[in-house]
Structure 1
Amino acid sequence: MITLHHLNKSRSKRIIWLLEELELEYEIKPYLRDSVSFLAPPELKSIHPLGKSPVIEDDGLIISESGAITDYLIEKYGKGKLAPKRGTNAYVEYSQWLHFAEGSAMLPLLLKLFVAKDGCETNFLAGYADAETLKILTYFNQSLEGKTYLVDEQLTGADIMMSMIVETLVNNGSIETFPNLARYAKQLASHEAFQKADQVEAKFS
């Protein structure tokens, strides 16, 4: 059985969604953030040296990084679901979004979070984070013009990976600034497995 090492209020929530979407049997080992520092507990380092989540265990493998986990689970258990066929143009597009989620997209959002938590005036960082975030979200919003999903008009791992960006906007109240993303957010939330992941994740918050 697959084991997901899950940290509350973290990016591992989308791995719960993926596991539910693939209808896989899994168990969750939950970890709670420190109430003051909001950092992951040291116990996670016993699973992976970086002490971060998500991490899964499957067939003796320990796999970290959301994109790698998503790729692994879909490749091994997807049976043609949640990813275009390899070697197609659609797969190239899918792969770009899969990596975009943790590459270009996440950094400016994290920078904004860190600036806000630090609370001090910055000479450069706050303005840079705001400008990059707007650029990333404008691109994401434009990419969904006239589309239901990111690739091939069907739910894929790319949508599951990008759902964290969408959820961040929903939580901070800025999703309506981007009409295509607001519509996309409702589409993602309409999936039964998404709703189940919400319920599962809530048990460990």
Structure 2
Amino acid sequence: MITVHHLENSRSQRVLWLLEELRVPYDIKVYKRDANLLAPAELKKIHPLGKAPILVTEDGQAIAETGAIMDYVINAYEGLGLVPNPKTRAKTQFTYWMFYAEGSAMTPLLLKLVSDRIRAKAPWFASPVASKIADTLESTLVRPNLTANIDFWEQSLAQTGWFAGDHFTAADIMMSFPVETAAHRAGAGEKPHIRQWLDRIHARPAYQRALERGGPYIYA
């Protein structure tokens, strides 16, 4: 049986959701974040970078990176029903969103996290300077990029209600973490089509089963 090394409140929630959608049996090991909200050092025993998610295959191979894990699971466990037909517009869209979710989508969200941490962790005597640095970072890089990406999602979802084609696919699973994070940190959930999409994915039975297996997940 495969094993998922799952970090609380992280992008690895998507791997659990995919496995639940496909009804693939799996073991799970849940890790808590440390005092700095980072993955614990013990994950480095599973993979040199010590990041979650990590999927250990039935033959003992450790696969890291959400996109790589998603690709492995889809191809190994009859998940092609969650992929649009080849040589279609929907398949081209699918490929784009699968790469975009961990690329362009996450960069401004990570910068938002950094600016928030600068404010929260600065000692009192450095707080004015730290706040000014954080404000500059947000005004020049974070907010413009977040706004552009959120508007892009809203326009894309307005077409069919899904990210790739006219029905639910693994691209919606992949996009769940950046969109949920933006809803939590940047008000993305106020956009009507994004809100409707979030409500639809959260109502899926497999999504709910993944929450039960993975534990508390603040972005849901």
Range of TM-score over shorter length = over 0.9
Higher mean C-alpha deviation, range 180-189 or range 53-62: 53-62
**Equivalent in the alignment of 2:45:** 46
RMSD: 1.8
Q: Note the alpha carbon deviations across 1:126-151, whole angstroms, 9 max, x for none.
A: 22111111111110111111312112
Residue among 211, 216, 219 paired with 1:198: 211
Percent identical residues:
40
Structure showing the higher helix proportion among its residues: 2
> How many matched pairs?
204
Separation of aligned partners in 2, 1:80 and 1:39: 33
The amino acid across from 2:177 in the alignment is M
**Equivalent in the alignment of 1:139:** 152
The amino acid across from 1:56 in the alignment is L
Residue among 139, 153, 163 paired with 2:176: 163
CA 1:142–1:203 in structure 2 vs 1: closer, same or farther (change >3 Å)? Answer: closer
Separation of aligned partners in 1, 2:211 and 2:2: 19
The amino acid across from 1:86 in the alignment is P
Shift in Å, 1:160: 0.2
CA 1:83–1:112 in structure 2 vs 1: closer, same or farther (change >3 Å)? Answer: same
**Equivalent in the alignment of 1:94:** 94
Shift in Å, 1:156: 1.1
Unaligned runs of 5+ in 1: none
Shift in Å, 1:77: 1.2
Does the CA-based 8 Å contact 1:45-1:51 persist in structure 2? yes
Higher mean C-alpha deviation, range 176-185 or range 8-17: 176-185
Does the CA-based 8 Å contact 2:161-2:193 persist in structure 1? no
Does the CA-based 8 Å contact 1:16-1:197 persist in structure 2? yes
Q: Note the alpha carbon deviations across 1:103-128, whole angstroms, 9 max, x for none.
A: 00011011001101111222742221
Is it true that 1:55 corresponds to 2:68 in the alignment? no
Does the CA-based 8 Å contact 1:148-1:187 persist in structure 2? no
SS in 1 for 2:80: coil
After superposing on structure 2, the runs of 4+ consecutive aligned residues of structure 1 that deviate more than 4 Å are none
Unaligned runs of 5+ in 2: 120-129
Does the CA-based 8 Å contact 1:43-1:51 persist in structure 2? yes
CA 1:134–1:189 in structure 2 vs 1: closer, same or farther (change >3 Å)? Answer: same
**Equivalent in the alignment of 2:84:** 84
CA 1:21–1:135 in structure 2 vs 1: closer, same or farther (change >3 Å)? Answer: same
Does the CA-based 8 Å contact 1:5-1:54 persist in structure 2? yes
Shift in Å, 1:64: 0.7
Residue among 181, 198, 203 paired with 1:185: 198
Is it true that 1:31 corresponds to 2:31 in the alignment? yes
Shift in Å, 1:79: 4.6
Separation of aligned partners in 2, 1:8 and 1:118: 22
Shift in Å, 1:13: 0.6
Is it true that 1:126 corresponds to 2:138 in the alignment? yes
